[in-house]
Structure 1
């Protein structure tokens, strides 16, 4: 094996270490998005933001499989096994194709966000139930207002104009049981905050998938070059 292929051999080994970190990043992003979607599945959050379950679950599965593929690549590079390296490249190519599909799906969902009326959906499916006995909707509204630092649908006046109740403490970072003074409430409406969060989540899913797919493409090229070098050496009849 020439000096150039020797360099590629160790670069491939280093790449697989980076690949493990990429797999961990994919896994974390998928878990975070899935947990955020699952925690409020009972109140049909997908009616507001759309369904992120498919891309999130797919990324979780991909992130888990990547650890096994990286092990295959490391062993193949160190042992200079043509079969293991080609297998590694094929598995990596399969993952790359799936990730590109996930990225396309996420960006399509992001593009279709323009067709979602976040204000209408949030008002109808969640906010209007705040005053009723629907505790899940109430908890969700308070959670959104506290975490996203927003209040009402458009602003704090929605509690008086739509629900005819006082402004809850979640609108100013206080306990829910207390009421907020108008001078301390969050100024941003939650419909806009949820839309921004949804767009960020979709862009994040697509961006992570495409970014790591680019790294995987480099790994595939290195693996095929190394496999070709090993095959040529075997044909010449000496050990590499």
Structure 2
């Protein structure tokens, strides 16, 4: 095998290893963000705005990428043109899926107004606050209340908390603290939840575009390597 084929083989192997790491990373990041969006967004928000779709798709595409990396590694190591060409074909399909996901996230969550989504999240959080269901969100998001924690909890839980104490989930020390304590989280959960939901989906959009470009590059290398191997095998047969 010539220098060019050897060089392509090394590059394809390195890209396959990078894809394996990327697949694992996408699956983990997507799983965590899916869970956090699931607990912080109501069923209505998830259904109407599809806020959980990008994270869920990230998990799926990450796992699919990880599966086909095995085929790519097999093709590169054994110099199997069939495996390499199949691997390249699926990389192109994955790249198209990642381009679509990335474009969707950036167009929907970065370049459009999100007032309706913010308003719906605020309404959902108020319902959770009234039903004492805000603790899990406050724990994960390090926030307290909705907009003004002290006033909201003084009004809602005046009898339960004597108007002066906040629940443990509002406090960094995880024990009840006063509404004037520096230990309490100062940011309302509306900002935390909205910024996390929109920000996560924008990040997924840029990551998806980057992964898509790399997948196309990997597909090109795999096809070129397959051609070199095929030519080398053909010359060996004729000799």
The aligned length equals 232
* Correspondences of 1:137-148 after superposition (within 5 Å): 138-139=132-133, 141-148=134-141
Distance apart, 1:172 and its partner CA? 2.6
What is the deviation of 1:88?
A: 0.8
Shift of 1:35: 1.9
Deviations 1:130-165 (A, max 9, x none): 23xx3xxx23x2233343333322222441676373
Which residue pairs with 1:181 in the alignment? 179
Residue of structure 2 equivalent to 1:152: 145
Change beyond 3 A, Cα 1:35–1:146: closer
Report what 1:3 is aligned to: 3
Question: Residue in 2 aligned with 1:81?
Answer: 80
Instruction: Name stretches of at least 5 consecutive residues in structure 2 with no aligned partner.
Output: none
Q: Which residue of 1 aligns with 2:25?
A: 25
Distance 1:188 1:210, change over 3 A: same
Contact 2:49 2:117 in 1 (8 A): no
| C-alpha separation in 1, matches of 2:67 and 2:157 | 57
Matched residue, 2:120: 121
Q: In structure 2, what is the Cα distance between the partners aligned to 1:158 and 1:45? A: 27
- Taking structure 1 as the reference length, what is the TM-score of the superposition? 0.81
Distance 1:34 1:47 in 2: 11
Normalised to the residue count of structure 2, the TM-score between the two structures is 0.81
Which stretch shows the higher mean deviation, 30-39 or 90-99? Answer: 30-39
CA-based RMSD of the aligned residues comes to 3.0
Say if 1:209 and 1:47 are closer, same or farther in 2 by CA, change over 3 A.
closer
Q: Which runs of 4+ in 1 moved over 4 A?
A: none
Q: Distance in 2 between matches of 1:9 and 1:47?
A: 44
Contact 1:153 1:190 in 2 (8 A): yes
